[in-house]
Amino acid sequence: MNKLKVAVIYGGRSGEHEVSLRSAKAVMGALDPERFEVMPFLIGKDGKWDPYPLKPEPGAHAEIDVVFPVLHGTFGEDGTMQGLLELADLAYVGPGVLASAAAMDKDHFKRVCVAAGLPVVEGVTLTAPDFGVEAVEERLEYPVFVKPCNLGSSVGVGKARDRGELEAAVRNAAQYDHKVLVERAVTGQEVECAVLGNDAPVASTPCEILPSQEFYDYEDKYLLDAARTELPARLPPEVLEAVKTLAVECYRAIGCAGLARVDFFVESGTGRIYINELNTLPGFTSISMYPKMWEHDGVGFARLVERLLELGMERHRKRRMLRFER
């Protein structure tokens, strides 16, 4: 039987380059060499490809059956790589151009959620060149969280308790994007839920993140190995079901396919559930929660990777049935 030829693209021009390397190592290690031929494509921090860049031409890569873009953050998770793969007419894992771009931009993501009637935390978006913080103080009370609109893994995220800290956090976030999102700080539980599927997506059992620091930042996620998790999340059964329902609704509203991880806050006191963000290519490291949640529900890591490849090829076959000319 012919092996399925899987191109794994990883690295990239992103603040999450190192995380991508770890995710790709785990994904490639999960592919049975008896059934899959793995073709690694490493993109350096300078944007250069090894061994060669893909051509945006249909039929130019007959050596590839399906692509797994194990890329996090800008130039990989934001629709740019997905656009290249669409131009090349290649099957690939994960959401398409529009969903990837909409989910990556936190400002647009919140707008889509609001339009769909989904609950999100109150926030203010600041833009270059001035990033004036007066609008924040007019609408929100301290403390607040400050985030670059287009980045992931909590890179550039800060917490502010007064004007001085806010200005410093905005300056830091503005290094990473021309738009900065400032949100009311929610006290409560941080919950994540994995979603899998194309036309009929399903949600996993949600998990809870217990940061070792004041909030779940990059160091806590990838360097300190001190954050703890609870799976299932420590929530009543009806709240767990509500989180799962909202995760699928958010997935559909953004137009996702293949996979996503939807992150939530469950506010102490009020019990309100807020959608925080949606990650279209969540981490696949040995400690990442997306595969752990599915493992809890009976889908092992290797089977999960295989299922994602199947979903990518299924979506590609359906798209090929569409007409693009009169």
**CB within 8 Å of 126: residues ≥ 6 apart:** 132, 133, 135, 136, 170, 179, 180, 181, 182
pLDDT band at 219 (very low <50, low <70, confident <90, very high): low
Is the pLDDT assigned to residue 177 strictly greater than 70?
yes
261 labelled catalytic: yes
From the list 283, 306, 312, 315, the catalytic residue is 283
Tell me the Cα Rg of the chain. 20
Is the pLDDT assigned to residue 223 strictly greater than 70?
no
241 labelled catalytic: no
35 labelled catalytic: no
Q: What's this model's pTM, rounded to 2 decimal places?
A: 0.92
**CB within 8 Å of 174: residues ≥ 6 apart:** 128, 131, 148, 180
Give the angle subtended at the CA of 109 by the CAs of 156 and 196, to the nearest 5°.
100
290-303: per-residue pLDDT in tens?
999 999 999 999 99
Range from 84-88, 125-129, 276-280, 290-294 carrying the lowest mean pLDDT:
125-129
Is the pLDDT assigned to residue 222 strictly greater than 70?
no
Mean pLDDT (whole number) for 97-109: 96
From the list 152, 263, 274, 288, the catalytic residue is 263
Domains, the chain, with CATH or none: 4-93 (3.40.50.20), 101-119+187-304 (3.30.470.20), 123-184 (3.30.1490.20)
16 labelled catalytic: yes
57 labelled catalytic: no
pLDDT band at 214 (very low <50, low <70, confident <90, very high): low
Share of the chain above pLDDT 90, in %: 84
139-151: per-residue pLDDT in tens?
999 999 999 998 7
pLDDT at position 217 is: 52
pLDDT at position 61 is: 97
From the list 279, 288, 290, 312, the catalytic residue is 279
Q: 12 near 73, Cβ under 8 Å?
A: yes
Nearest C-alpha neighbor of 168 from the set 153, 146, 140: 146
Distance of CA 65 to the CA centre of its chain: 24
Q: 251 near 277, Cβ under 8 Å?
A: no
Q: Which of 174-188, 239-253, 278-292 has the highest mean pLDDT?
A: 239-253
pLDDT at position 130 is: 84
From the list 222, 251, 274, 290, the catalytic residue is 222
279 labelled catalytic: yes
